[in-house]
Amino acid sequence: MSEELGRVRQMWHLLEPLHAVLYYAPEVFEEAAALGYRTDERWPSYFAWRAAPLGAVGAERVADTFYSFSPQMVREHVPAAWSVASPGAVLAARARAVDRAYRALLGEQAAGPEIAEAAALARRVAEAADATGRPLAEANAALPWPDEPHSALWHAATVLREHRGDGHIAALAEAGLDPVESLVSFAGIGAARPEVFASRGWSGKEWDAARERLAGRGLLEEDGTATEAGRALRAEVERRTDERAAAPWRALGEGERERLVELLGPLWVAALGSGLLPSETTLGIGKV
């Protein structure tokens, strides 16, 4: 991995937990409940929060842009989400939820100069991101920037993580990995246990069929672990993902990037140390 791509991946690792607070903080579930969403599990609000920038889209559009979820699971939540609250109402509640969650997570630090500095740097990167052909990044980038620095930081993190995610989907498609195969192959390199990937709604039959297809391509062993070819393919997917995510980061000079790393470090610690986020996710952070 080149030095530049290593920095790109480092920034993703630092920013992703800051975005993911949206899906786990109690303040977020309170806002979801106020809209009328079930909160006994996170998925009803997850699909609403993440898809709302796209508008009142249907299940096929969400399945395509989210990619790794079973279409059947998506259909359980979309378009039903828009009968609970309109995308505009969801976005307004999302802004309140992020504001409240960050204030609870960071305390007085949320209004501090370090957050304002980090937000300004991250915003420059997000505004440099070309979202052409990247639907989730484009939809989030089109939203107004929040006034409060801590909310602006979350917005920048969200634009950049969706920009990276859209590019990751393109890399998976180039590698010939369909949605369920992308998860099976990722589990094969030990990114997370198969039980973690079950959260994406694929049936055991669908998972096993994908495993057989990948084994037939010489990418998996019989026990589901990746072959040398399978590991090489996943490494290529991650390299291409990093390459597609690199351009916006050139908006900052080397010293500015180092300063942003310094500023984000304590926030990353706060997010992970809060206990809100799961210790093992489908993203494979720290293992790819």
Specify burial of residue 108 (Cβ count, 10 A radius: 0-12, 13-18, 19+): exposed
Q: Among candidates 140, 143, 120, which has minimal Cα distance to 252?
A: 120
pLDDT of residue 283: 66
Specify burial of residue 206 (Cβ count, 10 A radius: 0-12, 13-18, 19+): middle
Q: What is the mean pLDDT of residues 69-91?
A: 98
The alpha carbon of residue 243 and the mean position of all alpha carbons in its chain are separated, in whole angstroms, by 17
- pLDDT by residue (tens digit) across 246-264? 999 999 999 999 999 999 9
Q: In this model, does residue 279 exceed pLDDT 90?
A: no
Answer for the pair 224, 185: CB distance below 8 angstroms, yes or no. no
pLDDT of residue 243: 97
Q: What is the mean pLDDT of residues 211-222?
A: 97
CA distance 27 to 273: 17
- pLDDT by residue (tens digit) across 154-211? 999 999 999 999 999 999 999 999 999 999 999 999 988 888 888 999 999 999 999 9
Specify burial of residue 223 (Cβ count, 10 A radius: 0-12, 13-18, 19+): exposed
pTM score, two decimals?
Answer: 0.95
Q: What is the mean pLDDT of residues 3-12?
A: 93
Residues 6+ apart with CB under 8 A from 109: 115, 266, 270
**Residue-level length of the chain:** 288
Query: Which residue would you say has higher pLDDT here, 197 or 128?
Result: 128
Radius of gyration, alpha carbons of the chain? 19
pLDDT interval class at 124 (50, 70, 90):
very high
pLDDT of residue 273: 93
pLDDT of residue 278: 83
Average pLDDT along the chain: 95
Q: In this model, does residue 89 exceed pLDDT 50?
A: yes
CA distance 72 to 62: 11
Which percentage of the chain shows pLDDT scores above 70?
A: 97
pLDDT of residue 287: 47
Answer for the pair 19, 154: CB distance below 8 angstroms, yes or no. yes
What does DSSP assign to residue 252?
S
pLDDT of residue 259: 98
Which percentage of the chain shows pLDDT scores above 90?
A: 92
Residue type, 127: E
Tokens matching residue 205: 């039959």
